[in-house]
């Protein structure tokens, strides 16, 4: 496992956005490591649910520590994650903020490329007005289907515009085809 800190060893926090995270969560504990591990300290090592080859592992402290605890998603040497690219994303699930709606799936490579181009663009804009529908766009990794990358979206049926949000909390307009996909689903509107 890649034991030194670098941008490839992302932190994982349950429900975190803007990093690759385990889609089905953490699996069973498979070991311990660190100084005084035999005394109940150190780190517990967990497998990632769905990762049969154990390409990725997750570590967390075995005991409670006040002041924050470092949890980390580790990967084998030679594995590279980085930000999502069109080549690494197999599909995108659209999930509404409302619990009553049914998720939708987009697996068209051109649509995924258009989303990622907007997401990494430099055309920052801020949504204004009322009657916004919001939720998450969950990208699924092509080579590691047990990993996902979640970003926020919002769209206004009245204004006929949609946006996605990056890790810096900046909003970027989505291409027209994404507005079309988002508006085909009966996601409930919320007023801001």
Lowest mean pLDDT among 4-8, 100-104, 152-156, 185-189: 4-8
Residue 116 phi/psi, 5-degree rounding, is -70, -30
Over residues 129-164, the pLDDT tens digits come to 778 888 999 999 999 999 999 999 998 888 889 999
**pLDDT computed for residue 192 by the predictor:** 44
Q: How far is it, in rounded angstroms, from Cα 58 to Cα 47?
A: 6
pTM of the full structure: 0.83
Higher pLDDT, 66 or 124: 124
Give the separation between CA 27 and CA 45, rounded to whole angstroms: 10
């Amino acid at each position: 496992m890649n034991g030194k800190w670098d941008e490839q060893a992302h932190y994982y926090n349950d429900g975190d956005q803007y990093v690759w995270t385990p889609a089905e969560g953490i699996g069973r504990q498979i070991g311990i490591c660190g100084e005084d591990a035999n005394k109940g300290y150190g780190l517990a090592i967990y497998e990632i649910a769905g990762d049969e080859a154990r390409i990725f592992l997750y570590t967390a402290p075995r005991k409670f520590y006040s002041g924050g605890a470092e949890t980390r998603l580790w990967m084998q040497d030679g594995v590279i994650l980085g930000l999502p690219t069109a080549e690494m994303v197999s599909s995108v699930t659209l999930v509404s903020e409302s619990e009553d709606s049914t998720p939708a799936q987009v697996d068209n490579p051109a649509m995924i490329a258009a989303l990622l181009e907007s997401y990494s663009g430099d055309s920052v804009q801020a949504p204004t007005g009322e009657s916004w529908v919001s939720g998450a766009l969950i990208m699924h990794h092509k080579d590691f289907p047990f990993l996902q990358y979640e970003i926020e979206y919002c769209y206004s049926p009245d204004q006929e515009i949609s946006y996605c949000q990056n890790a810096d909390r900046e909003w970027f307009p989505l291409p027209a085809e994404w507005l079309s996909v988002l508006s085909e689903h009966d996601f409930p509107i919320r007023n801001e």
